[in-house]
Amino acid sequence: MRIGMGYDVHKLVEGRKLIVGGVEIPHERGLLGHSDADVLIHAIMDSILGAMALEDIGKHFPDTDNAYKNISSMVLLEKVYDIMVNNGYEIGNIDCVVVAQRPKFAPYIHIMRENIGRTLNTSIDNISIKATTTEWLGFEGREEGMSAYCVCILNKN
């Protein structure tokens, strides 16, 4: 059994879609990044790579490589899944928190869990996603950006 931890943060800007957990969420601003800037999926990928001691997503999918420009983070998650399988692991469980003042994520969490479970070939019972505000404190509270934290357990096949 291996444990990994992931963290990601992105700035909110006008003119971008807000995509979290592979779901496009109606909002007046979206997250800025080289890819679609899906803060939740990035934290998940880093937790999986970290559990295998394979560095982070910046090493595997650098923002200097135009092949990843505007790419769906779900496509990158598929690539991380392949790396995980090729190293002989499977998901034990994943537990995540998205930190944002707005919008409310509750209506979308089940769809996010389904997207992630399908991509990682695991039951949604192994995927936990929570969302919280910061009670108007910090950059998330000021609605300047969003962050996500994730821990995962990988089991050896």
| Binding site as annotated, residues | 8-10, 34-35, 42, 56-58, 61-65, 132-135, 139, 142
Mean pLDDT by 10 residues, the chain (157 residues): 98 98 98 97 98 96 94 98 98 98 97 98 98 97 98 97
pTM of the model: 0.97
Domains of the chain, each with CATH number or no CATH: 2-156 (3.30.1330.50)
Query: Which sign does the torsion angle of CA 112, 9, 18, 58 carry?
Result: negative
Cα–Cα distance measured from residue 137 to residue 122, given in angstroms and rounded to the nearest whole number: 35
Q: What are phi and psi of 154, to 5 degrees?
A: -110, 140
Task: Identify the pLDDT of residue 136.
Answer: 97
| Binding site as annotated, residues for a divalent metal cation | 8, 10, 42
